[in-house]
Amino acid sequence: MELRKVEIDFSDARVDWAAGDPEYAHLFNGISSMVPYLEVMLNKAVRGAKSQLREDETELRREADRFCWQEGRHTKLHLQFNEHLQLTYPWLEADQAKIRADFDRFWKVKGHKFTLAYSEGFETYGPILSELLFEGSGNRLDDWDEPTVYLWLWHFAEEYEHRMVCHDLFDRLYGSNSYRVYGLLYALVHLYGYSLKVAWKMIRTDLETGRLRGRLRTRLRFFRVVGMLVGFLLPRLARAMLPGYDPSTIPPPRRCMEFLDAAAQRYGVRELD
C-alpha cells in the first residue's frame, strides 16, 4: 500500500462532472458530501482496533497506519470539493451536520465493535464501486483531467488497494460473520439513504435554477442511474455476505492500478517513517 500525496484544485471543477449524465455526477456528489465525516469515524475505528493488536502483529499494525493516512488524504480532498458544492447548494451544510451527528453518535453510543463493522461494511463497497467507476461507467469518466473525475478515480482505486484492512481487523478482533453482515447492511441503508436523498435535492435545485431542464426526462435519468447502481451492487454484495468472504481474492478493476501508478508518478509517494 503506497501513500500518495495528491493535491487537486477544484476552483474550476464542474458540479455536473460526468460527461452527459449530471444525475450520475449528483449520485456521487451526494456520497462526497458525507465522506469526510464517515472517514473520521473509519479512522477512529481502525486506530481503536490497532490499539488492541499484539505488538508482534507488525504487518497489520503497519497496514492500519497506512489505511488511516490514505483515508485522511481522501478526507482533505473531499472537504475541498464539498466547499465547492456548498457554493452551489447552500442548503447542503445542514444535511451534512445531521449525518456528522450520526457518526459521532455511533462512535460514542454504539461502541467499537459496531463502528468497525460499519467501517468494514463501507470498505466492502470500496472494490465494488472501484469496479463500477473503472469498468461500468461507460464514457462518463473518460476525461481524467477533469478534477472531480480524477478525485473519484484516485479515491476508489485506493479503496481497492486497502480493501483488506478493516476486514482483517474485524476478523482478528471479533470474527463474527453475522455481525459483519449486520454492519454491511446497516451501512448500506444509512449511507445510500442519505446520499440518494441529497443527490435528488441537488437535481431538484438544478431544475429550479434552470441548470437542468425537463423534469420528466431528468427523473427518468435519475431512476435509471439508481437502478444501474442497485443492479451493480446487489449481486456483488450477496457474494460478500457469504462466510469465508475474502477481499484479497478480488481482482483489480481494469486500469485501476495503472491509474494509481500514474498518480504516484504525477504527485510522488511519501512513505511512513
pLDDT of 143 > 90? The answer is: no
Average confidence (pLDDT) over 222-249: 92
Question: Model confidence over 171-227: pLDDT tens digits?
Answer: 999 999 999 999 999 999 999 999 999 999 999 999 999 888 888 888 898 999 899
Residue 109 lies in a domain: yes
- Quick check: is 199 in a domain? yes
Number of separate domains in the chain: 1
Other C-beta atoms lying within 10 Å of the C-beta of residue 2:
14
DSSP 247: G
Answer whether residue 24 is part of any domain: no
3-state helix, strand, coil in the chain (%, to 5): 75, 0, 25
Domain-embedded: residue 17 = no
Share of the chain above pLDDT 70, in %: 94
Residues 6 or more apart in contact with residue 104 via CB below 8 angstroms = none
Please give the pLDDT value at position 150. Answer: 84
Per-residue confidence (pLDDT) for residue 272, from 0 to 100: 47
How far apart, in Å, do the first and last CA atoms of the chain sit? 14
18 within some domain: no
User: In this structure, is residue 146 part of a structural domain?
Assistant: yes
Its domain, for residue 111, covers 31-267
Task: DSSP letter for 253, please.
Answer: P
Residue type, 25: A
In angstroms, the CA 147 to CA 16 distance is 12
- Residue 9 counted as domain residue: no
Instruction: Compute the distance between CA of residue 186 and CA of residue 255 in angstroms, rounded to an integer.
Output: 31
- For 213, counting Cβ atoms within 10 Å of its Cβ (0-12 exposed, 13-18 middle, 19+ buried), the class is exposed
Helix (H, G, I), strand (E, B) or coil at 1: coil
Q: How many Cβ atoms from other residues are within 10 Å of residue 12's Cβ?
A: 8
Residue 46 CA from chain centroid, whole number = 16
pLDDT digits (tens, 9 = 90+) for 8-64: 888 888 888 887 788 999 999 999 999 999 999 999 999 999 999 999 999 999 999
For the chain, what is the radius of gyration of the CA atoms?
18
Q: Which single residue is written with the C-alpha cell 509517494?
A: 269
Query: Does 101 reside within a domain?
Result: yes
Q: What is the model's pTM?
A: 0.91
